Structure 1
Amino acid sequence: MNGTGYDCLVTVNFTIPSSGIAYVNIHLDYGTKGGGTDFNPKDTFADRYDIGTANTTNCVGDATYYDALQNDSNAIPAGALALKPCTSYPFSHTGTGSGGDSVQNVNTFKKIQGVFGQAVNSSTDGKAWPNVQATLKDGTGKTVLATGVTDKDGFYALNYKYTGKATNFIIVLGNVQYVVQLKANGWAEVDYDPITGKWYQDVSGK
């Protein structure tokens, strides 16, 4: 998604390994968090879902919609709700060979507090790092605040409500750790690549 419609061309340059398999991870984000996203149903206020002028009753174009509660296009994806569950998102690729497939969304909206993320080999075959102990500690590393285990897809969630000033916490996955800052009632998404040993703090907020 590029903010002006659903169709988006992404160029990814890479070398196909001898295995003949390459893994590309694309993150889809509805962007429903933050200012200017709660002007629903459709109204005279412009927000990040609006395409065209704010006082337009109906939008016209490629998969355009007015606010998060309306999708007036017959193009894929489409539906009465812009965030309708099981909406299909088609993907395709060109280059040396071509092909395509579709994914569907399953909406589970929760109030997230603490730290969550995924441990996956993004640089090679995309295999997850399952059944790994995940721990959230205070900045000194002495106090355990939350624990969990990565699932079969490498995802983990460490639920913890922090109410003080912004401060550092320590995430431990197996025998590796990373320092992340949390704000009051905040959260952070922190991913880890076991092959490269790199951490990725994608999103943090309140």
Structure 2
Amino acid sequence: MTKTDDQYYISKVVAGDTKAFAVLVDRYKDLVFTLALRMLKNREEAEEVAQDTFIKVFKSLNKFKGDSKFSTWIYRIIYNSCLDVLKKYKQEYPAVGLNEFTERQIATLDNAFDALVEKEQRQAIDDCLDRLPKEDSFLLILYYFEEQSLEDISKIVGLTANNVKVKLFRGRKKLASLLKEKLEPEIIEHYERERK
């Protein structure tokens, strides 16, 4: 799916062909629901926010100028919708202690993070991501799992690329702290030995 391909269907919808919107919904429904579920941690709320997102997208499709990718525009809408829900419920986030990590230790843990590919280890990562504040978790997911660029993420969350970079660094520190608690010490030591 390309920007041009998306633009074709967007143009058809704006011109009055509402059936063309089904193609866009079909393309992005999994992405929208997954991101909502990641942020809200509640299936029913995520479904509701995903539906509301597509209603917002449909109603404001004529405002999409194509300055960024359509997926980036949708990410921004789902992100803001989830923030609205979170603000409404004023959910408390668990405090995550920031240990003093050196950049080398964070890089080591990043390498350990990249190497965790098996299902059980992925579950450990998901558990740790769930314990992070929603915004930190969302940024890490966009960057590492959705492979969004810093520029795209900055458009989604309405921050400068440098602010996103700082928030990603802090999020990785928090995640590293949680992973260090969760992962077996031998795994950490193995990767630390490899880095020396």
Q: What's the TM-score once normalised by structure 1's chain length?
A: 0.18
Higher helix share: 2
Higher RCO, Cα 8 Å, sep 6+: 2
Q: What's the TM-score once normalised by structure 2's chain length?
A: 0.19
Larger radius of gyration: 1
Higher strand share: 1
